[in-house]
Amino acid sequence: MSKPADAGSRSRALAARAISAVIDEGRSLDAALATLPADLPAADRSLCRMLAYGTLRDHRRLDAMLAPRIQRPPQPLLKALLLVGLFQLEAMRVPPHAAVHATVGATVELKMGKARGMVNAILRAHQRSAPTLADDHPGLLHSYPDWLADAVQADWAEQGDGVLAAGNQRAPMHLRVNLRRTTRDAYLQTLLDADLRADPLALCVDGLTLAEPVSTEQLPGFANGLVSVQDGAAQLAADLMKLADGQRVLDACAAPGNKTAHLLERADIDLLALDIDESRLATHAATMKRLGLACHERIADAAQLDDWWDKQLFDRILLDAPCSGTGVIRRHPDIKWLRRASDIAQAATRQRALLESLWTTLAPGGRLVYATCSILRAEGSDVVAEFIAQTDDAREVVIAADWGAPEPVGRRIAPGEQGFDGFYYAVIKRAGG
């Protein structure tokens, strides 16, 4: 009779399940990790997440290291476990013997006890002599699919390798202080009183960077709206909107609500928040409730005006357009393996449709801020430049800023620059008014 797996083995087994859910089933890592057992101790939950994130970040290189060790492809879950084992030997400070022992033990948890010997042999062989990879393509060097590595290299030229490498770094935890409830300096002191160290986030007047990430439960005042978790690049949207009290504002793709909340924290505005996804809009409503903010919320496709628009023009529109998410790969490494080259063109088509429809709802003299968390021009400046060229009353507002770099239209931020996620922004004004 097999012995039950110990806690370390259980964490590795759960990490393998999460990785297989992403690679073999096409689920997001967030969704996969959301199914972790409720009784999993915090330390084991943290280890599981670390293993899953790290293995997915370096999935392609680990897969290439595994290939010479196996004669025929193992079943997907077993392969995921082997990759977890290799990741520990390559990148973690766990003593090699402990990593091998716990990974071998995870076969019991996964009901694959017959594979114990194979797992042990492969990991010990790697421990003795890790294979040397050619690294002749940036996709292999940085562990990206070739199509995405090639697209980044084409868009970023001599910066391409740096952009790819930055996507594999661990992201800092940025906070946004609710200036309706407190000040940044006051909240910094609150953090210090709770033995949490943070620094002001440059270029974000209400932003902070924690010295070490923590759970939201550990953040003083999070539950009652003093602070939110939001990357600094996303916080820049509120500045670009140039809000004033009394304006009518549309947040066109609003969930999960961080940008909506930031706008409402900045000014007394009449804001309509749209999202096409009912479950995501429920998250948006929870965000508003936690922060004590109010707006109009509606489930709708922003491009289908007849379904939601009351023919009253907006002074400001925020279009945080659906995109590939390639600018936030450092937070979501599963994006590398879930996206396909064809997704980029499809996203660009959707982005153009949203721009064209929403433009008719903007008042003369009004301002539209276009944003994507993408590092690809096909979802950024290419879309906006084409729209402006084809729209008689659309005028670019040049962004003068100390962040990012100018594009043919707008500005884009490389991931890791000033601690920010990869992002693209453009501001368009409607002539007249």
Among the candidates 229, 244, 269, a domain finishes at: 229
How many other C-beta atoms lie within 10 A of the C-beta of residue 288? 20
Q: Measure the CA dihedral 373/379/385/389, to 10°.
A: -130
Containing domain of residue 359, as a range? 232-430
Give domain status of residue 328, yes or no.
Answer: yes
- Residues 276, 294 within the same domain: yes
Report pLDDT digits (tens) over 240-263. Answer: 999 999 999 999 999 999 999 999
What tens digit of pLDDT does each residue of 185-234 get? 999 999 999 999 999 999 999 999 999 999 999 999 999 999 999 999 99
Work out the burial of residue 109: count CB atoms within 10 Å of its CB; fewer than 13 is exposed, 13-18 middle, 19 or more buried.
Answer: buried
Q: Are 18 and 29 in contact (CB under 8 A)?
A: yes
Do 108 and 55 form a contact (C-beta atoms < 8 A)?
no
Q: For residues 224 and 320, state if they share a domain.
A: no
Region label for 409, one of left (φ > 0), alpha (ψ between -120 and 50) or beta (otherwise) = beta
Structural domain includes residue 1: no
Q: What pTM did the predictor assign?
A: 0.94
Pair 293, 272: CB distance under 8 Å = no
The total domain count for the chain is: 4
CATH for 224: 3.30.70.1170
Residue 340: give its domain's CATH number.
3.40.50.150
Same domain, 113 and 33: yes
Pair 102, 150 in one domain? no
pLDDT band at 134 (very low <50, low <70, confident <90, very high): confident
* 121 and 62 assigned to the same domain: yes
Residues 381 and 241 in one domain: yes
Q: Is residue 2 part of a domain?
A: no
| 114 vs 144: CA distance, rounded Å | 33
Active site residues: 373
* pLDDT per residue as tens digits for the range 202-211: 999 999 999 9
CA dihedral 88, 105, 80, 24 (to 10 degrees): -150
